[in-house]
């Protein structure tokens, strides 16, 4: 490994299968990291993706990113977002100018919820995120950030939508100070939690749930001709209703529908 990374010896150390990369600042560290990874890729060496993923999850839910105990002197900041598939939300507290995470929330939408209007989905994301952390939010000031501008007036105005109303009622239970509009580029983490791409494999879905989908391009059509006498014409219709297809050959089918009075029906029978 030392020979493999000889070009990176100025900023990395190798001990067995562990590589330590050191730099003077963050931007320089990204350059050094890319150089080391590119060198490994040229020699068909890859990282343990599963181990890296679990280590990354551990970093997200541990100190210094995660706040172990909420600070009673600081408000709780809620960032939420919604898509047609998932709801996402994050609760922060800003400690000494640095955002510390209290809670991550990601929830799959049901089939009925996926048909909600975007405003209803954004309101549902706020409702789910705050209600799940009720024990932390109660008794503390809450500031909500959303990228849906119409929801910003929900604290001061009455909700006219039945699906948005539960979220408006929730604000009466908690001390919600403001709802602030934030642009999408400043709402990255909840956006990621609600829009992280999930590969869809129809074959896998079929095997799990036992469903089968068969696409048949052939068309099926039924041709028939019928005579219909509507109710308004029943009084003026003759007692004997004959089909214009009575002289048709016997090898063809015809359908006669009548809606006449009872006397006309008895005569036709």
pLDDT digits (tens, 9 = 90+) for 152-186: 887 777 767 788 888 888 878 888 888 889 887 78
**Location of each CATH 3.10.20.370 domain in the chain:** 76-195
Higher pLDDT, 90 or 218: 90
Lowest model confidence (mean pLDDT) among 70-79, 91-100, 187-196, 203-212: 203-212
Q: Give the chain as a 3 state SS string.
A: CCCCCHHHCCCEEEECCEEEECCCCHHHHHHHHHHHHHHHHHCCCCCCHHHHHHHHHHHHCCCCCECCCCCCCCCEEEEEEECCCEEEEEEEEEECCEEEEEEEEEEECCCCHHHCCHHHHHHHHHHHHHHHCHHHHCCCEEEEEECCHHHHHCCCCCCCCCCCHHHHHHHHHCEEEEEEECCHHHCHHHHHHHHCCCCCCHHHHHHHHCCCCCCCCCCCCCCCCCCCCCHHHCCCCCCCCCCCCCCCCCCCCCCCCCCCCHHHHHHHC
pLDDT value at residue 36:
87
Confidence label for 62 from pLDDT (cuts 50, 70 and 90):
confident
pLDDT value at residue 2:
72
pLDDT value at residue 159:
67
Q: Which CATH number applies to 76-195?
A: 3.10.20.370
pLDDT in tens, 8-21: 888 888 887 788 88
> Cβ of 186: how many Cβ atoms within 10 Å?
10
Can you give the pTM of this predicted structure?
0.56
pLDDT value at residue 42:
80
Q: What is the average per-residue pLDDT within 70-96?
A: 89
pLDDT in tens, 117-127: 988 999 999 98
Q: What is the average per-residue pLDDT within 77-98?
A: 89
pLDDT value at residue 223:
58
pLDDT value at residue 98:
84
């Amino acid at each position: 490994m030392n020979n493999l990374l000889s070009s990176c010896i100025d900023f990395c150390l190798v001990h067995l299968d562990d590589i330590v990369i050191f730099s003077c600042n963050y931007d320089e560290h990204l350059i050094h990291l890319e150089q080391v990874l590119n060198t490994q890729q040229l020699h068909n060496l890859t990282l343990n993706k599963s181990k890296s993923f679990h280590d990354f999850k551990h970093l997200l839910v541990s100190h210094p990113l995660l706040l172990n105990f909420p600070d009673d002197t600081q408000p709780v900041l809620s960032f939420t977002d919604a898509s047609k598939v998932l709801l996402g939300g994050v609760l922060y507290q800003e400690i000494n100018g640095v955002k510390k995470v209290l809670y991550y929330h990601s929830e799959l939408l049901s089939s009925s919820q996926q048909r909600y209007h975007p405003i209803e989905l954004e309101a549902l994301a706020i409702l789910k995120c705050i209600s799940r952390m009720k024990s932390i939010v109660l008794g503390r000031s809450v500031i909500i950030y959303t990228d849906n501008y119409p929801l910003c007036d929900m604290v001061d105005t009455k909700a006219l939508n039945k699906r948005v109303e539960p979220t408006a009622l929730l604000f009466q239970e908690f001390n919600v100070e403001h709802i602030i509009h934030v642009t999408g580029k400043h709402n990255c983490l909840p956006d990621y939690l609600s829009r992280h791409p999930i590969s869809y494999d129809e074959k896998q879905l079929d095997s799990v749930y036992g469903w089968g989908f068969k696409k048949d391009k052939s068309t099926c059509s039924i041709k028939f001709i019928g005579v219909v006498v509507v109710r308004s014409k029943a009084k003026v219709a003759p007692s004997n209703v004959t089909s214009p297809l009575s002289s048709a050959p016997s090898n063809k089918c015809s359908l006669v529908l009548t809606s006449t009075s009872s006397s006309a029906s008895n005569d036709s029978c």
